[in-house]
Amino acid sequence: MNINTVKDYFLSLQKDICTRMEALDDTATFKVDPWIRTEGGGGISCVLEQGELLEKGGVNFSHVTGSNLPPSALAHRKDLVGAAFEATGVSLVFHPRNPYVPTTHFNVRLFVATPTKGEPQWWFGGGFDLTPYYPFLEDCVHWHTVARAACLPFGETIYSRFKQWCDTYFYLPHRQETRGIGGLFFDDFNEWGFGKTFSFVKSVGDHFLLAYEPIVKKRQALDYGTAQRNFQAYRRGRYVEFNLVYDRGTLFGLQSGGRTESILMSLPPQAAWQYNWAPAAGSAEAELYSDYLKPRDWLAAT
């Protein structure tokens, strides 16, 4: 296990994603903001705001250490209470301006925990998911086709396993709806050994923009109006609800004394809530609820 090799890949991935997204949005650039964490470690936050494509986007790298794992990291690892930890990862959220371009989230991470007695334990986590406001079936199929391609070298069942995990994780129980159309999600993952698991994480990282860029290029010039922006703001409210109530990464960052500005970078620049609102029957907004905000076999949807 070599955490420095993982860090080097994560830093390279952060730089590559920022460069390629700036090429799609040539009206703005990412502000690079290095930071140091008092408790140990630090990171680099790259944030783009008020671009023509991205109304707000951020790509965070972090490498932090601590003397005790916080509660959010111990949900499935009670044996590591009191363990020191080291964690590194890349996490991003893109909130496009155009409502026809989906919001997306991506994350890859490595944890190493050293209990007071025993050997260090490591595990990876990560994945990517898509949150459209006005979805296109062909985009959803493309997204999941690339997700499957990222998994296929590691076994025929990996995509379906982590696709189902994503559908389960990015779910709002109080709304009884998924956050979007899913993708891949995995956590506490170390069953293959370090080398193969890290290779899988790199495959997920390398496939993210292969999934997202073509969708952006197809949709970023579509015309939209006030009604579409209002619905986008309403649906962004769901994103806020999930990140502040359920997301383990947000909870870990806040509970471990992380940098608040970087942790909450994932929130959209504008969001709205409207009391007891429902879309009109037969509308494009109603189609999102009826056809897309539920687990579905997207590879069989053509």
pLDDT at 282: 95
Range in 78-82, 136-140, 204-208, 239-243 the model is least confident about? 78-82
Average pLDDT, the chain: 92
- Nearest Cα to Cα of residue 63 among 26, 14, 98: 14
Instruction: Please report where in the chains the tokens 């008092």 appear, as a residue.
Output: 38
Q: What is the pLDDT of residues 257-282, one digit of tens each?
A: 677 888 888 899 999 999 999 999 99
Mean pLDDT across 190-200: 95
DSSP classification of residue 53: S
Range in 45-49, 73-77, 191-195, 227-231 the model is least confident about? 73-77
Alpha carbon distance 222, 230 (integer Å): 16
Beta carbons of 203 and 151 less than 8 angstroms apart? yes
Q: In a 3-state reduction of DSSP, which class is residue 172? A: strand
Record the tokens describing residue 238, joined without a space: 């769901």
Record the tokens describing residue 16, joined without a space: 């590559």
Helices 137-151 & 158-169 angle (0-180, nearest 10): 120
pTM of the entire predicted model:
0.93
pLDDT at 71: 65
pLDDT at 76 over 70: no
Alpha-carbon distance values, 56 to 98, 131, 258 (Å): 11, 15, 21
pLDDT at 168 over 80: yes
Instruction: Please report where in the chains the tokens 């990140």 appear, as a residue.
Output: 243
Q: What is the pLDDT of residues 101-143, one digit of tens each?
A: 999 999 999 999 888 777 888 999 999 999 999 999 999 999 9
Hey, CA dihedral for 160, 162, 163, 165, is it positive or negative?
A: positive
pLDDT at 70: 64
pLDDT at 67: 75
Considering the chain, what percentage of its residues have pLDDT values greater than 70?
A: 94
pLDDT at 77 over 80: no
Q: Which of 105, 142, 144, 207 is flagged as catalytic?
A: 105
DSSP classification of residue 280: P
pLDDT at 64 over 70: yes
Beta carbons of 103 and 136 less than 8 angstroms apart? no
Record the tokens describing residue 111, joined without a space: 């944890």
Q: Does residue 105 carry a catalytic annotation? A: yes
Q: What single string gives the DSSP state of each residue in 120-166?
A: -EEEEEEEEEEE-SS--HHHHHHHHHHHHHHHGGG-TTHHHHHHHHH
Parallel, antiparallel or unpaired: strands 54-66 and 84-96: antiparallel
**Domains of the chain with bracketed CATH:** 3-300 (3.40.1500.10)
pLDDT at 302: 65
Record the tokens describing residue 163, joined without a space: 């696709």
pLDDT at 26: 87
pLDDT at 53: 97
Q: What is the pLDDT of residues 158-167, one digit of tens each?
A: 999 999 999 9
